[in-house]
Amino acid sequence: MSIFVCGDIHSTLDINKLDGFIGREDLNENDYLIICGDTGICGFSKEQERLTREYLRKYR
């Protein structure tokens, strides 16, 4: 098991910060990503909120 920590990912503005992490081939269901700070899911437009939620749900 590995635990990874990252900072804010302000919705669709910079959610691509997670692409390098999620694309790793050495990850499995026992690994965790902890996002410290806000994810920006709420507070932006409804469309940005929907896109951010869809992106994150793929990886739970």
> How many CB atoms lie under 10 A from the CB of residue 40?
18
Task: Could you list the beta-strand ranges (E) of the chain.
Answer: 3-6, 32-35
Query: pTM of the predicted model, to two decimals?
Result: 0.63
pLDDT at res. 9: 79
> How many domains are contained in the chain?
1
Domain extent, residue 53, equals 3-57
Q: Quote the mean pLDDT of the chain.
A: 81
pLDDT tens, residue by residue, 34-50:
888 777 777 778 888 88
Residue % of the chain over a pLDDT of 70: 97
